Amino acid sequence: MSDLNHVQDEPIVLWCDNKSAIAIAKNPIQHGRTKHINVKFHALREAGQNGDVKLQHCSSEEQLSNILTKALPSAKFMELRSKLRVFQKSFMEEC
């Protein structure tokens, strides 16, 4: 954030639905199971240790990104769409 001339008073919250990823970020000593994790993950862990980022658990049902990545039932689609403040506009309203 300092590169953008913005003072960051508190950590940015990253919502994640993977409890294992959060656990690994908090405890880097995870035996041989984490050997495949790339540099980006370690940068995230370091940002968390520096207080720049805070990982929080969010259930899969509450993930807003599901609207962009999954086929959803129409009720769930409309719920997530409204949370993003995107609303359907009919063609008749434009005329």
The model's pLDDT over 63-90, given as tens digits with 9 standing for 90+, comes to 888 888 889 899 998 888 888 888 777 6
Residues ≥6 apart with Cβ < 8 Å to 56: 13, 14, 15, 16
Q: Which residue has the higher pLDDT, 53 or 42?
A: 53
> Domain segments of the chain: what residues?
1-62, 64-95
Residues 1-5 have a mean pLDDT of 79
Q: What is the pLDDT of residue 7?
A: 82
User: Is 64 strand, coil or helix?
Assistant: coil
φ, ψ for residue 85, nearest 5 deg: 60, 40
pLDDT in tens, 8-47: 788 888 888 888 777 777 776 655 566 666 666 677 778 8
What does the pLDDT read at residue 32? 58
Q: Residues in the chain, how many?
A: 95
Closest CA to 40 of 56, 23, 27, 21: 21
Which residues neighbour 59 within 8 Å (Cβ) at sequence distance 6 or greater? 17
Q: How far apart are CA 19 and CA 23, in angstroms?
A: 6
